[in-house]
């Protein structure tokens, strides 16, 4: 069953308030804090889930957690005869930069650029002087295709593709800070309870102090 940030937050608040006032859950835990913790829990569980799939021999990632960022501007780097694009969000850190799942020109959605591990590109030792390749191994292994590699929050392409103007980027990231309270979250149903339990762990497993209980009782009398 699909869930939303609001549903998860309300469920967590009710569990947390089980010793106090279940009907007035906002008194026991601020929903704004809960939503921040939900985002952190989702990122943690998503990364663990992905590594579990790697151990089982899968090289794919859970597609329900891919977020597409359309029409990201490409900038030319004339001094190195290449282009780059800044990532709209930081993806989950995975081997071989798989957090950046796919990049393609906005006008050609079915022709993705080829991902290259940043360390492999550095080993090749390709260098440029005034836009001309001067040393290193030739990149002909790409067979006339264009590759890209990730450095921090920036993606560099192996050629100048600024003529395409914009690209679409798919990232493995739980960017739910951009989601509204009632938007469907990119979370598989079987992991909803894991998110709830992780948030409760972070706030102390719903243990409310006697002082909080007394204050709540006094406010209801």
Sequence ranges of the domains in the chain: 5-59+188-220, 63-172
Supply the pLDDT for residue 136. Answer: 45
pLDDT of 137 > 50? The answer is no
pLDDT in tens, 41-73: 887 887 777 777 666 666 666 666 688 899 999
CB 137 within 8 A of CB 124: yes
Mean pLDDT of 103-123: 85
> 């709830």: which residue's tokens?
196
Task: Please state, for a pLDDT cut of 70, what percent of the chain lies above it.
Answer: 66
Tokens of 204: 């102390």
Handedness of CA 25, 26, 28, 34 (dihedral sign): positive
Could you tell me the pTM of the whole model? 0.62
Lowest mean pLDDT among 70-74, 114-118, 125-129: 125-129
Supply the pLDDT for residue 107. Answer: 93
pLDDT of 4 > 70? The answer is yes
Supply the pLDDT for residue 167. Answer: 97
Q: Mean of the per-residue pLDDT values for the chain?
A: 77
Cα distances (angstroms) measured from residue 71 to each of 37, 64, 105, 146, 193: 30, 21, 8, 18, 35
């Amino acid at each position: 069953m699909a869930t939303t940030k609001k549903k998860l937050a309300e469920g967590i608040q009710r569990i947390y308030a089980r010793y106090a006032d279940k009907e007035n859950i906002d008194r026991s835990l601020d929903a704004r804090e809960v939503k921040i913790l939900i985002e952190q829990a989702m990122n943690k569980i998503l990364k663990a889930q992905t590594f579990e799939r790697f151990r089982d021999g899968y090289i794919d990632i859970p597609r329900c957690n891919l977020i597409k960022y359309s029409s990201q501007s490409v900038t030319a780097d004339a001094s190195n005869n290449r282009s780059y694009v800044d990532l709209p969000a930081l993806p989950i850190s995975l081997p071989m930069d798989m957090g950046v799942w796919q990049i393609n020109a906005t006008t050609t959605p079915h022709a993705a650029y080829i991902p290259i591990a940043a360390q492999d590109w550095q080993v090749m030792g390709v260098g440029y002087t005034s836009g001309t390749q001067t040393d290193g191994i030739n990149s002909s292994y790409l067979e006339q295709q264009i590759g890209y590699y990730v450095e921090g929050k920036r993606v560099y392409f192996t050629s100048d593709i600024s003529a395409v103007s914009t690209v679409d980027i798919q990232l493995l990231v739980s960017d739910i800070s951009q989601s509204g309270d009632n938007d469907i979250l990119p979370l598989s149903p079987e992991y909803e309870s894991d998110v709830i339990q992780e948030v409760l762990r972070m706030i102390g497993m719903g243990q409310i102090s006697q002082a909080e209980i007394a204050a709540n009782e006094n406010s209801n009398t």
